[in-house]
Amino acid sequence: MQNTEYNVAVEPLEAIVEYLEDRGISLAPVWQRYNTSLAELQEQQFVPFELFSACFDLGEQKTQDLNLGLNAGATISTRHWGQLGYLMLSGDDGFESINYMQRFAKLTTNSMESRFEMSGQHLVCYFKMFPEAYSRHTCEFFISAVYSLGKFMSDGHFKFKEIKFSYPNGSPVEDYERILGCHCLFNQEENKITVEQSALAFTSTFRDPRLKKVLEQHAVSVLQHLGSDDDVVRDLKTFVSDALPNGAPSLKQVCEHFQMSERSLQRLLAKHSLSYQELVDNLRSDLAKTYIENDYSFLDIALLLGYSEQSAFHRAFKRWTGLPPAKYKKKLQAN
**223 or 241: which leads in pLDDT:** 241
| Domains along the sequence of the chain with CATH | 7-207 (3.90.1520), 213-334 (1.10.10.60)
Kindly report, residue by residue over 85-136, the tens digit of the pLDDT: 999 999 899 999 999 998 899 889 989 888 999 888 999 999 999 887 789 9
Kindly report, residue by residue over 35-75, the tens digit of the pLDDT.
889 998 888 788 889 999 999 999 999 999 999 999 999 99
Q: Choose the weakest-confidence range: 68-72, 168-172, 260-264, 311-315.
A: 260-264
**How much is the average pLDDT of 171-198?**
96
Q: What is the pLDDT of residue 3?
A: 47
Give the pLDDT of residue 21: 97
Q: Would the pLDDT of 82 be above 90?
A: no
- The more confident residue out of 33 and 220 is 33
C-beta atoms surrounding 131 within 10 Å: 12
pLDDT at 217: 87
Give yes or no for residue 300 having a pLDDT over 50. yes
Mean pLDDT over 22-34 rounds to 95
Average pLDDT over residues 299-317: 92
Q: Residue 223's pLDDT is what?
A: 78
Residue percentage of the chain with pLDDT more than 70: 97
pLDDT at residue number 1 = 34
- Specify the pLDDT at position 229: 67
Q: Please tell me which residue, 275 or 159, carries the higher pLDDT value.
A: 159
Distance CA 288, CA 314 (A): 10
| Mean pLDDT, range 313-331, rounded to an integer | 91
pLDDT at 227: 66
- pLDDT tens, 151-170? 998 999 899 999 999 999 99
Average pLDDT on 172-194 reads 97
